[in-house]
């Protein structure tokens, strides 16, 4: 976190999004003993990510800054909208964990998988507040309609938003790796007739790979998830007009 503070990031404004698509039911066959990734009878990967990221980011958040927490991809909103995890604002990651535990009991999985509604909602918040935000998406696999999500990432690289996708479950993760590399991303979108993104605003992390190889899983996950934030913040501070 010292590298983040060196760029002048004293407080982190966070938006947190949870994937409730149907593939969560089966995408833990290799990495979670065949259980649903949202299984609540034990500590599941989503809960572990919320806790680990919270331990790192909570101390850096502003005292009066709430965390926006959403779900997406369930049977109700599908790939069109997001829904709040809690009717009340979350003032800490512990609040998010409690809201997640309560909401997940009543959610029916759906789909298809799209990051567009989440990114769109995040940009609405950035525009409304005029502040830099980190969007953390915890998801179990790749998007169904790639072009729409690519377009959203490109269009919204004009805004003060860093996007971090933390992948849980079996994957596949090849697409996320491609998006994470700016040169590969721009080559891919050029073939599709899309313009390049303004800066490298996207980072992806394979939760199980990172934590399997680490002695301290909390530190390893936080380091991997937030490693590009200092450079992203520096670019935003120098090139995009926001209240930072």
For residue range 40-92, list pLDDT tens digits in order: 999 999 999 999 998 888 877 767 789 999 999 999 999 999 999 999 889 99
- Phi, psi dihedrals of residue 11, rounded to the nearest 5°: -130, 145
Measured CA distances, 90 to 11, 74, 101, 137, 180 (Å): 16, 21, 13, 16, 29
2 lies in some domain: no
Residue 233: left if φ>0, alpha if ψ -120 to 50, beta else—which one? alpha
pLDDT of residue 39: 98
pLDDT of residue 180: 84
Helices marked H in the chain = 2-6, 45-57, 93-104, 116-129, 146-155, 174-180, 182-191, 207-212, 217-226, 229-239
50 lies in some domain: yes
Residue 76 lies in domain:
9-237
pLDDT of residue 243: 59
Query: Which tokens is 160 given?
Result: 């003060």
Total count of domains within the chain = 1
- Phi, psi dihedrals of residue 162, rounded to the nearest 5°: -100, 135
86 lies in some domain: yes
Q: What is the mean pLDDT of the chain?
A: 89
Share of the chain above pLDDT 90, in %: 55
Fill in the DSSP letter of residue 192: T
CA dist 49 and 179 (Å) reads 21
pLDDT of residue 56: 84
- Phi, psi dihedrals of residue 112, rounded to the nearest 5°: -75, 180
Q: Report strand pairing: 202-206 vs 133-139.
A: unpaired
209 has pLDDT over 70: yes
Nearest 5 degrees, angle CA 218-CA 220-CA 226?
A: 95
232 lies in some domain: yes
Bond preceding residue 112 cis, omega within 30 of 0:
yes
242 lies in some domain: no
244 has pLDDT over 60: no
**CATH number of the domain within which 167 lies:** 3.40.50.410
197 lies in some domain: yes
7 has pLDDT over 60: no
pLDDT of residue 69: 97
173 has pLDDT over 90: no
pTM of the model: 0.92
Residue range 181-195, pLDDT digits in tens:
777 787 877 877 777
Q: Which of 24-28, 84-88, 143-147, 151-155 has the lowest mean pLDDT?
A: 143-147
Residue range 12-28, pLDDT digits in tens:
789 999 999 999 999 99
Average of pLDDT values for 163-167?
Answer: 96
1 lies in some domain: no
4 lies in some domain: no
pLDDT of residue 62: 67
1 has pLDDT over 70: no
């Amino acid at each position: 976190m010292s590298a983040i503070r060196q760029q002048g990031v004293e407080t982190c404004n966070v938006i947190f999004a949870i994937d409730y698509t149907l593939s969560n039911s089966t995408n833990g066959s290799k990495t979670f003993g065949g259980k649903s990734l949202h299984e609540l009878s034990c500590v599941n990967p989503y809960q572990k990510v919320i806790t680990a990221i919270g331990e790192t980011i909570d101390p850096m958040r502003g005292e009066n800054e709430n965390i926006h927490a959403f779900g997406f991809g369930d049977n109700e909103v599908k790939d069109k909208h997001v829904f709040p995890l809690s009717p009340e604002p979350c003032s800490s990651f512990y609040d998010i964990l409690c809201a997640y535990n309560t909401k997940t009991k009543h959610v029916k999985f759906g789909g298809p998988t799209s990051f567009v509604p989440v990114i769109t909602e995040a940009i609405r918040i950035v525009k409304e507040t005029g502040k830099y935000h980190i969007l953390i998406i915890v998801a179990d696999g790749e998007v169904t309609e790639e072009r729409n999500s690519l377009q959203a990432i490109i269009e919204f690289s004009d805004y003060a938003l860093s996007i971090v996708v933390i992948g849980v479950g079996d994957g596949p993760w090849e697409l996320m790796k491609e998006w994470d590399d700016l040169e590969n991303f721009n080559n891919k979108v050029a073939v599709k007739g899309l313009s390049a993104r303004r800066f490298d605003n996207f980072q992806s992390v394979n939760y199980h790979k990172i934590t399997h190889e680490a002695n301290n899983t909390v530190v390893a996950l936080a380091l991997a998830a937030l490693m590009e934030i200092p450079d992203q913040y520096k670019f935003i501070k120098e090139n995009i007009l926001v209240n930072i």
